[in-house]
């Protein structure tokens, strides 16, 4: 089938979604709740329910889901054990605005599994918790500036929405590239931009700004731009240079957390930061984020020297979901990770072979629980390399997969869950084989 035929087929079976999208746009700005969802082809679909690895739209079409709500659903949709726990808590109240025992029970579980977690605190989203981490680093060091890397995403706050997805042209002009002021963005003078896997770019910033840098923040695997692993020794360099300069090392584990391993990216790579942020999988689909950190930093929150607040922080519904999710992930020493990795890796390698078989340039990166499929001929080392990928062709492939009952994210990232079975992987690879005809 051609791309046009695929599009026609998807449109024909998703009329209910289109009708709802049109209605929604008349009341909800843009008809979607977050800007990124608008890019869906042929239009954003509307969903009725999800269970395990599958999600079903309002027209009754069922898809094997590799979006997984953009990452949180590490156990798949509505796992029975978590749903039952949430249902029981619903009877006891949704939020107290006061202390309850789930707060320390989940904190104790997090202390056990996160290497840098002497203490933790909670918020509701990744965006918020990154701000807590940056503030804490400023408070402890008495400095303002921070280093981030090109292409790394740390939420939508002005301070960090810098050099997120710069164009080739913007990158050539150098410096930090904020979202244009016309979009409401207030540029941050405090952000310094380095290049992933480029030691010199980091060393240079420390040399140019001695005694000025409060923190260095990164995704331990660059999941938001191509699932690019740190090269051997790169995270260790970040650890060394931050320690030497009295700068806080922050790992943003919103994606890598409880996905690469039960111990996050820091456990997976064996480098312990001063502070680490978690969200997505931490709440298993409920709004929860976590800051975990070393005692000397977290004491600033404990003693009220750095402000951390939020009406819904630590609410019992989100913490119930976290407790049940972490219990499943940690059972029998985290045995579920073997399954998550082996099935995800079979999928990653299978997809790469299928595309390769059509003589289309292809590369994959990352690993079983979260990986990237890119239509380009060599792996990326840093964000700039990812601009070479053929995104139009990838989008066509995604549309053909949707027609085959496989749902993927628009940017090339694939999430897998504990709920994805060997049969799901087989069905997905067979569907990909058929969908690949649009690549030629
Ligand atoms: C690494 C990283 N940090 C922070 C965020 C922001 O999290 P949230 O969307 O929960 O605000 C995201 C979201 O995708 C992320 O991937």
207-232: pLDDT as tens digits? 999 999 999 999 999 999 999 999 99
Is 179's pLDDT higher than 70?
A: no
Locate tokens 């084989």: which residue? 433
Residue 188 CA to ligand 1 center (angstroms) comes to: 19
pTM given for the model: 0.97
**Beta-bridge partners for 65:** 407
Cα 77 to ligand 1 centre (Å): 20
The yes-or-no verdict on residue 279 having pLDDT over 90 is: yes
Known catalytic residues?
A: 153, 252, 280
Predicted confidence at residue 239, as pLDDT, reads 98
- Nearest residue to 284 via CA among 421, 128, 85: 85
Does residue 206 line the site of ligand 1, with CB under 6 A?
no
Distance CA 298, CA 303 (A): 9
pLDDT at site 440? 86
Ligand 1, atom nearest to 70 Cα = 14
Q: Is the pLDDT of residue 104 over 70?
A: yes
300-304 contacts, C-beta under 8 A, 24 or more apart: 300/136, 300/139, 300/140, 301/119, 301/121, 301/132, 301/136, 302/119
Is pLDDT at 262 greater than 90 in this prediction? yes
Please report the atom of ligand 1 found closest to the CA of residue 289.
10
Nearest residue CA, atom 13 of ligand 1?
155
Task: Tell me, in angstroms, the distance from the centre of ligand 1 to residue 141's CA.
Answer: 25
Q: What's residue 176's pLDDT?
A: 56
What is the predicted pLDDT for the residue at 220?
98
The percent of residues above 70 in pLDDT, for the chain, comes to 98
- 47 has a pLDDT exceeding 70: yes
Beta bridge partners of 120: 292
Q: Determine how many CB atoms are found less than 10 A away from the CB of residue 231.
A: 14
Q: What is the mean pLDDT of residues 27-32?
A: 95
Q: Is the CB of 301 under 6 A from ligand 1?
A: no
């Amino acid at each position: 089938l051609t791309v046009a035929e695929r599009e026609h087929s998807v449109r024909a079976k998703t009329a209910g979604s289109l009708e709802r999208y049109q209605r929604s746009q008349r009341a909800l700005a843009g008809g979607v709740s977050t800007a990124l969802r608008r890019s869906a082809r042929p239009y954003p679909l509307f969903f009725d329910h999800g269970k395990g690895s599958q999600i079903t739209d309002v027209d009754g079409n069922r898809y094997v889901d590799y979006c997984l709500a953009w990452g949180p659903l590490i156990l798949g949709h509505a796992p029975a054990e978590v749903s039952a726990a949430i249902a029981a808590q619903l009877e006891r109240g949704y939020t107290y605005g006061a202390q309850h025992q789930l707060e320390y029970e989940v904190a104790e579980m997090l202390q056990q599994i996160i290497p840098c977690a002497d203490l933790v605190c909670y918020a509701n989203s990744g965006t918020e918790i990154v701000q807590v981490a940056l503030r804490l680093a400023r408070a402890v060091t008495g400095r303002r500036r921070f280093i981030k890397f090109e292409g790394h995403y740390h939420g939508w706050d002005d301070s960090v929405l810098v050099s997120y997805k710069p164009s080739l042209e913007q990158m050539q002009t150098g410096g930090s590239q904020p979202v244009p002021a016309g979009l409401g963005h207030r540029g941050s003078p405090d952000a310094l931009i380095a290049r992933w896997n480029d030691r010199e770019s980091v060393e240079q910033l420390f040399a140019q700004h001695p005694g000025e840098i409060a923190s260095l923040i990164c995704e331990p695997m660059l999941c938001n731009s191509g699932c690019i692993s740190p090269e051997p020794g790169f995270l260790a360099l970040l650890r060394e240079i931050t320690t030497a300069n009295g700068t806080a090392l922050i790992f943003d584990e919103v994606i890598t957390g409880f996905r690469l391993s039960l111990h996050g990216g820091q456990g997976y790579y064996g480098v312990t930061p001063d502070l680490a942020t978690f969200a997505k999988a931490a709440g298993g689909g409920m709004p929860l984020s976590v800051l975990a950190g070393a005692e000397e930093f977290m004491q600033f929150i404990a003693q009220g020297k750095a402000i951390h607040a939020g009406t819904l922080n630590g609410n019992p519904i989100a913490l119930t979901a976290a407790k049940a999710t972490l219990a499943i992930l940690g059972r029998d020493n985290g045995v579920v990770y073997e399954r998550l990795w082996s099935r995800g890796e079979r999928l990653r390698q299978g997809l790469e072979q299928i595309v390769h078989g059509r003589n289309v340039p292809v590369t994959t990166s990352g690993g079983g629980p979260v990986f990237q499929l890119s239509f380009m001929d060599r792996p990326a080392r840093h964000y700039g390399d990812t601009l070479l990928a053929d995104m139009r062709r990838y989008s066509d492939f995604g549309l053909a997969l949707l027609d085959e009952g496989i749902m993927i994210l628009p940017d090339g990232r694939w999430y897998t869950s504990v709920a994805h079975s060997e049969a799901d992987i087989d069905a997905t690879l067979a569907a990909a084989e058929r969908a690949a005809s649009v690549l030629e």
